[in-house]
């Protein structure tokens, strides 16, 4: 099954042609150039991520030779994820017609960010607690003044459950899917003591949220490397849809905040200012948001996103 899926993915990528027309605000898709720009921004914000070159016969012409994929090495994973863990997938509605990222509060009020579940080093499932009263104290003054900032620190609370287990480390990879025109995430697990790859690869499902095991996450070959290296991969078929929903909701929330802060004297004045602003969201911030989404798939792995959106 894994071989068939890998072969099908390679065929789709081979038959696809790159698009150089930006449509990320309308479709959630990105061009190869936008993927590189977003990767540069991710590396700048979080230096544990870096660019890497593909094997000579595996490199693709639509990406620079030295920027074929992104990698974060040796991310620790101190606990397994049990079957009771319920992950939060950003952009997925809580119920019919209700968006986790949507600010549905009345004018002049603001809904709190949705609570995100993770797993701490002791194997305990955590849920971010409401902390509105102390928000101004937690956020440095220089961050408040940054109009382009889209990420803020996320508070934590020790609740829930998890499974304490021997240390594992993961290498995390982000490639570009030419067929789906979005980033694609891969991860490769290793024993924390011997540094040997986890065998069989399906053992990695113990560190993946139950909602995704063998559904949207499958074991497939990592295309940029020689030797048929098998990794766990999040299938990208819904990435564009989820990213589009997140960006739209974040933009609407930012617009509401700016509306109440500016308080224009007339609708015409508001329109003049809004026409030149898309809510402060840029395509180069795409992968910062994407990594936050992936954190819900592998909650026990310490991804270097470290800040809540």
Query: Any idea which residue has 């038959």 for tokens?
Result: 15
* Cα 169 from Cα 198, distance rounded (Å): 10
Angle (CA) 116-138-261 rounded to 5° is 90
Q: Which of 237, 260, 271, 277 is catalytic?
A: 237
Under 8 Å between Cβ of 186 and 175: yes
Under 8 Å between Cβ of 43 and 288: no
- By DSSP bridging, strand 163-177 and strand 125-127 are unpaired
Under 8 Å between Cβ of 240 and 29: yes
Give the closest residue to 112 by CA, choosing from 121, 120, 104: 104
CB contact set of 264 (below 8 Å; sequence gap of 6+):
270, 273
Longest CA–CA separation in the chain, Å: 66
Give the chain's end-to-end CA distance (angstroms, integer). Answer: 37
Q: Is 77 a catalytic residue?
A: no
Active site residues: 237
């Amino acid at each position: 099954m894994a071989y068939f899926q890998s072969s099908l993915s390679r065929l789709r990528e081979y038959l696809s042609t790159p698009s150089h027309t930006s449509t990320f605000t309308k479709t959630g898709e990105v061009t190869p150039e936008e993927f590189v720009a977003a990767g540069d921004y991710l590396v700048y914000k979080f230096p544990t991520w870096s660019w890497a070159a593909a094997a000579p016969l595996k490199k693709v012409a639509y990406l620079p030779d030295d920027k074929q994929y992104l990698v974060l090495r040796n991310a620790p994973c101190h606990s397994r994820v049990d079957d009771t863990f319920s992950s939060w997938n950003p952009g997925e509605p809580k119920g019919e017609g209700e968006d986790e990222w949507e600010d549905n509060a009345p004018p002049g009020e603001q809904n709190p960010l949705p609570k995100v579940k993770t797993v701490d080093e002791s194997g305990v499932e955590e849920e971010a607690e409401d902390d509105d009263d102390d928000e101004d104290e937690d956020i440095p003054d220089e961050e408040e003044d940054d109009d382009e900032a889209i990420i803020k620190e996320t508070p934590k609370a020790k609740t829930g459950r998890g499974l304490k287990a021997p240390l594992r480390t993961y290498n995390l990879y982000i490639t570009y899917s030419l067929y789906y025109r979005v980033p694609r995430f891969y991860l490769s697990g290793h024993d924390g003591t011997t540094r040997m790859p986890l065998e069989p690869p399906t053992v990695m499902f113990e560190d993946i949220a139950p909602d995704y095991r063998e559904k949207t996450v499958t074991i497939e070959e990592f295309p940029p490397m020689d030797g048929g290296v098998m990794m766990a991969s999040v299938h990208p078929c819904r990435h564009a849809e989820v990213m589009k929903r997140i960006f739209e909701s974040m933009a609407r929330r930012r617009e509401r905040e700016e509306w109440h802060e500016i308080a224009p004297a007339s609708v015409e004045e508001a329109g003049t200012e809004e026409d030149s602003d898309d809510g402060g969201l840029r395509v180069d911030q795409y992968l910062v948001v994407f990594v936050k989404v992936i954190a819900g798939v592998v909650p026990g792995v310490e991804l270097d996103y470290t800040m809540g959106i």
